[in-house]
Amino acid sequence: MNLEELDNKTLYCSHCNATMSDNDKFCGHCGMPLVPEKVGKERRVVYLIVAFYAFFLLHTIVSFFIYEEEITLTRELWVEGIFILSTIIFCLMDWKRILALFTAQGVPLWAWGISILFPIVTGFSVYYGMDVINSFLEVEDNNVFWEYFTYENPVLWAMIFYVLIPPIFEELAFRGFLFNQLRLLLNPTVTIIATAVLFALVHFSFVSMLWIFPFGMALGYLRFRFKTLWLGMIIHFIHNLIVVSLDYYYFDSTFFYEDLIF
């Protein structure tokens, strides 16, 4: 609840419209606590941030156990569908400010160049760098086509689930909704860091956090610097496209079938 000031001296309870003193903590007429409007708005923002992160963390954990049991196209469609729908619902709560991020106005040519060159560097660096790290840690390399090769049109589904959906909806969720909410409470630097941390955590991979966190920092900075989601979406798209393309290039379908049979 908040106080409404209708003139320079008199304050009114916004719940019952009773006359109040500026020193009152509770309304003498209805007994409701008097919460300043700013505090009420900040509290709502905190609730939204907590709800956002709790939901996406739960979604990540549930998805992990679903995929541990068995990966099927139907299950993946359900998991991705829930992710897309929930992202849209959160974004609708702040749709005007998110819609304003779909602009290219004021973005210099060099920034567009970076959005193309940067993911080329990260795509190849992350792919081969993670291969070295996985070998050192004796962690099995998880080629995406080990999951999708039994699907009809595996390349199409890999492109949809890895190359199209994440750049659009992860950027909407983290650099759109979450960034907007955190920015109402925190300064730009802390907002960029906090968004990158949450972005890395929901990917649910300790090893991958080595590159996902700085990657998220870069995307967050560009979103703040140029007030647009386009650069982040382009970077995210090209990076994922390179990783999936390399997975396809190195995937040995003959070995897959031999392993399946024996």
Q: Which H or E run contains 11?
A: strand 11-13
Domain extents for the chain? Answer: 1-35, 42-261
For residues 177 and 93, is the Cβ–Cβ distance under 8 A? yes
Give the model's pLDDT for residue 171.
98
> With 70 as the cut, is the pLDDT of residue 260 above it?
no
Q: Which two tokens stand for residue 74?
A: 């139907």
**Mean pLDDT for the stretch of residues 73-98:** 96
Q: Could you tell me the pTM of the whole model?
A: 0.81
Give the model's pLDDT for residue 124.
97
Determine what percent of the chain is predicted with pLDDT higher than 90.
60
Please state, in angstroms and rounded to a whole number, the distance separating the CA atoms of residues 138 and 121: 25
> With 60 as the cut, is the pLDDT of residue 4 above it?
no
Task: Give how far Cα 37 sits from Cα of 10, 14, 33, Å.
Answer: 16, 10, 12
Phi, psi of 204 (to 5 degrees): 60, 40
Please state, as a whole number, how many other Cβ atoms lie within 10 Å of the Cβ of residue 61: 12
Q: How much is the mean pLDDT over the chain?
A: 86
What does the H/E/C string look like for 121-186?
A: HHHHHHHHHHHHHHHHHCCCCCCHHHHHCCCCCHHHHHHHHHHHHHHHHHHHHHHHHHHHHHHCCC
Determine what percent of the chain is predicted with pLDDT higher than 70.
83
Q: Please list, in sequence order, all residues whose beta carbon lies within 8 angstroms of the beta carbon of residue 160, skipping any fewer than 6 positions away.
A: none
pLDDT in tens, 191-211: 999 999 999 988 877 778 889
DSSP class of 46: H
Give the model's pLDDT for residue 5.
38
Instruction: Supply angle C-alpha 236, 129, 243, rounded to 5.
Output: 35
Please state, as a whole number, how many other Cβ atoms lie within 10 Å of the Cβ of residue 135: 10
> Regarding predicted confidence, which is higher, 154 or 67?
154
pLDDT in tens, 93-152: 999 999 999 999 999 999 999 999 999 999 999 999 988 887 887 777 678 888 888 888
> With 80 as the cut, is the pLDDT of residue 21 above it?
no
For residues 238 and 112, is the Cβ–Cβ distance under 8 A? no
